[in-house]
Homo-oligomer: A and B are copies of this chain.
Amino acid sequence: MSQSDTVRRILDTAEVLFAQKGFAETSLRAITGKAGVNLAAVNYHFGSKEALIQAVFERYLTPFCQALSVKLRELELDDGPLSLERLLTVASRLALGSGTEEPRRAMVFFRLAGQAYSQPQDHLRAYLRKHYGDVFNQFTTLLRRTAPDVPPVELFWRVHFSLGAVIFTLSGMESLQTISKKDFNRSVSASDIAQHLLPFVVGGIKGN
């Protein structure tokens, strides 16, 4: 077993388990057990559990934010009027990707983001803000252009509300699965959610 294989298997397993159960409720023994590696491997390769959590985020977020930044730059240079729908569609398409595996990972990651916000992982919040704050600002700036009528303060709130809508929804996915199946007799996928989410967010950002 090569080195990178152990590291990758730890990251893969931790990603799923953290999203499923949260950080505090996921023990290193559960991770290493399911990953088929030794318990000490986490502390050896990552140093601590905290560092592992950060590494999980970094592996997903760094390539995504780089790609997003490029897409946003394209939109910035595009002189024509930028619609809110377009901006959101670009971001959503990027998250959902073109393959079959990306939507699942996007869902997993958003659940992770939810855990990061609702649990007191201060180190994580600081880390995220430090490393990915720029892309967030880039997005916000662009968003302001699509909704010039909305005051910046209001826009700030509505962005947070929108984030909450998506993260909260994906965090409770499996219970939503149950409810939705029972009440409407149909299952849900990540692109389903995106489809329903878009008009809600657009309406919410624009306001009553």
Contact = CB atoms under 8 A, between A and B. Distances in A.
Interface of A: 20-22, 24-25, 85, 114-115, 117-120, 125, 152-154, 156-158, 160-169, 171-172, 175-176, 180, 183-184, 193, 196-208
Contact of A200 (B22, B120, B161, B184): B161
B156 A183 contact: yes
| Chain B CB within 10 A, most for which of A24, A119, A198 | A119
A115 B119 CA distance: 8
Contact of A176 (B160, B172, B208): B160
Contact of A165 (B24, B85, B115, B168): B168
A100 to B, nearest CB: 23
Nearest to A154: B196
A156 B172 contact: no
7 contacts: A118-B168, A119-B119, A125-B175, A157-B196, A158-B200, A161-B201, A165-B168
Contacts of A193: 157
Contacts of A180: 156
Residue from A117, A201, A208 whose CB has the most chain B CB atoms within 10 Å: A208
Nearest to A170: B164
A184 B154 CA distance: 11
Given A24-B24, A208-B199, A164 B156 contact: no
**Interface-centre pick from A165, A202, A206, A208 (highest chain B CB count, 10 A):** A165
A119 to B, nearest CB: 5
Given A22-B119, A25-B120, A161-B197, 16 more contacts: A118-B119, A118-B168, A157-B193, A158-B196, A160-B168, A161-B166, A161-B168, A161-B200, A163-B168, A164-B165, A164-B168, A165-B204, A168-B168, A200-B205, A202-B208, A206-B208
B184 A153 contact: yes
